[in-house]
Structure 1
């Protein structure tokens, strides 16, 4: 169940998504939004993990190591993996326009760096397993629940996110002029 502050953030984020402060196309080409759901997920994950770093003993130590890995990986996701996902509703509705071509280099980069991304997820999963083990030993149910939930989120990236980007790239390439 979401905390009161999480629910308030979710409502604010949903409102921001419905009524954006500036149109997406007014942004610089290098600066594309990421889906609001991903912004919320990253914020909540980092908040929870940061709180766990203050837990005593092995739990806090494992959380601290994991926090470094998660921040590095989330920066990668926000830089080029997640921005193309903002195009999904339009592409799914059959609307592909030339101004969407910005997403193709990001998708191609994700595909080119697939092995490194996989390695990062493996390291994160190992860190989450370490945190879960430490939490179980310490009887820290909150830390254990976080580790298990975050591991499922990490798995989602390879089962859903990466294949979705590939399909999105295929749809864009099929419908955009060959010059892109």
Structure 2
């Protein structure tokens, strides 16, 4: 019988740390008698997450008896996404345990309802975060502040374009000249 738990640690940016999650999850997993296998990811829940995909593949392959998360929103921000992940793990007989949602580790008939409610709450938090961010950006624009990256230097873009014309890859030319690859690509399409 497999006694490994996939410990999924996630933060949204590289300016954040998983250290708080790690300590709590290690205690939770060991208290339940699981051997931890750590899956650490630095990516927004709104984007593709290859580490979570690998954890789910390991669960499907029968390598995990449980998946441990610090909170349900670490798995997914959308209600549908959180429910789908938890229910898929349930179908695979992989127990889901959470530091912040101890009710998740139960076989009660109320559990699916609670998963749906907490998934919805996580989705609403994300919606409010987006709304607050947009409001802050709009306030800054009204105040006359520049929002976003500063415009790329025309001189640097031309120099990077010359490197590409000489056979250097777009990514390497952008790196050498200190411009964003996407900005260089747009510049080259217009050129």
TM-score norm. by structure 2 comes to 0.30
**Higher percent of residues as helix:** 1
TM-score norm. by structure 1 comes to 0.32
Between the two structures, name the one with larger relative contact order (CA 8 Å, sep ≥ 6). 1
**Higher percent of residues as strand:** 2
